[in-house]
A and B are shown apart, each in its own frame.
Chain A
Amino acid sequence: TQLLEQSPQFLSIQEGENLTVYCNSSSVFSSLQWYRQEPGEGPVLLVTVVTGGEVKKLKRLTFQFGDARKDSSLHITAAQPGDTGLYLCAGAGATDSWGKLQFGAGTQVVVTP
């Protein structure tokens, strides 16, 4: 069983501050995804990383895949209230994993004005 542990579980910051959330596992993943889920809605895919050491940027969000493809981080610069949500990471264990994405429990981020 591949387990993804996300930390911290909860993060509350002021608008304009930076934050980093982590997604760690003892298993290797062929790809890893980050989703954001807002209250009352389903998760929305933000990014997919597939190469060890890969860094992707999406406006103020920076995603990094660990060199060994076991962990990932999400860094938000100058957070805004619109960044509030539950951030989920999900890993695919094999190329034929077939919808069997392993999800972490998520990090709840609250950005206050």
Chain B
Amino acid sequence: ETGVTQTPRHLVMGMTNKKSLKCEQHLGHNAMYWYKQSAKKPLELMFVYNFKEQTENNSVPSRFSPECPNSSHLFLHLHTLQPEDSALYLCASSQDPGTVNEKLFFGSGTQLSVL
């Protein structure tokens, strides 16, 4: 069992669809993150939650809507996406955010294609 589990692994959606990405961490961490990874670009931090409270929204368009019902679960709701939103979406968790001991544990990601 991996520490951070993401579903689905692959998703193809049209621009008018509504879908959700799910992330679950089994590590007992307090902080959870959504990152976007596009080819040949640095990972882009999208959202950060600590103890279920959103502490970072990195100017992400409103067509991406996060939800964190508890410290173990994180969702990313998708609506009216654009083709340029196609990317690998990575979820991560950590125990000591903001410290030199901070370690991010990533899930395997959801490869999203928007047609």
Contact = CB atoms under 8 A, between A and B. Distances in A.
Interface of A: 4, 9, 30-31, 33, 35, 40-45, 48, 50, 88, 90, 92, 95-106
- Grouping DSSP codes into helix (H, G, I), strand (E, B) and loop, the A interface class, with mixed when no group exceeds half, is loop
B33 A99 contact: yes
Interface residues of B, number: 28
Nearest to B109: A42
Contacts of A104: 42
B53 interface: no
Contact of B48 (A4, A90, A98): A98
Contact of A98 (B41, B97, B100): B97
5 A-B pairs closest in CB distance: A42-B106, A98-B98, A103-B43, A103-B42, A99-B48
A30 B97 CA distance: 14
Contacts of A43: 43, 90, 104, 106
B66 interface: no
Contact of A42 (B40, B97, B100, B107): B107
A99 B31 contact: yes
A88 B94 CA distance: 18
A48 B42 CA distance: 18
B4 interface: yes
Interface in B21-73: 31, 33, 40-43, 45, 48, 50, 55-56
